[in-house]
Amino acid sequence: MHALDTMRALASKAEMIHLNQGDVLFRTGETGTCMYGLLEGSVRLTWIDSAGHEGHEDIPVGHVFGAGALVMEDHQRLSTATATSDCRLIAMNRDKFLFAVQETPMFAVQLLASIDARLRDIKLADG
């Protein structure tokens, strides 16, 4: 079971988001209040690092992103998330996140595994 499976099990219809290609989900500097799970399509996170270089990450279907918004107070988004194709996502706010961690503790482990896999993919892509 993956973190996205738990999100899907807890999601209501109101937490389902549909984006068209080119739509921006969130922007760098905005205060984050949700994390997202990608069910269909593709999303690209883009940022500018401290040296002024542009970076990006393409989120694969089945992964979650934006979790920092749920674990840090007044979290400012570090990237801009743009749909690179039509996509369908699940949004999870802090209250639902805390419920998921309390009721299904493996959710936290699954979330960490998903984040770790994404970080490894970025490191491998950077060579």
Domains assigned to the chain: 3-126 (2.60.120.10)
Q: What is the 3-state secondary structure (H, E, C) of 97-115?
A: HHHHHHHCCHHHHHHHHHH
pLDDT tens, 26-77? 999 999 999 999 999 999 999 998 899 999 999 989 889 998 888 888 889 9
Of the candidates 111, 91, 116, 120, the one whose C-alpha atom is nearest the C-alpha of residue 1 is 111
Specify the pTM: 0.85
Contact 61, 88 (CB under 8 A): no
| Alpha helical stretches, state H, 13-71 | 68-71
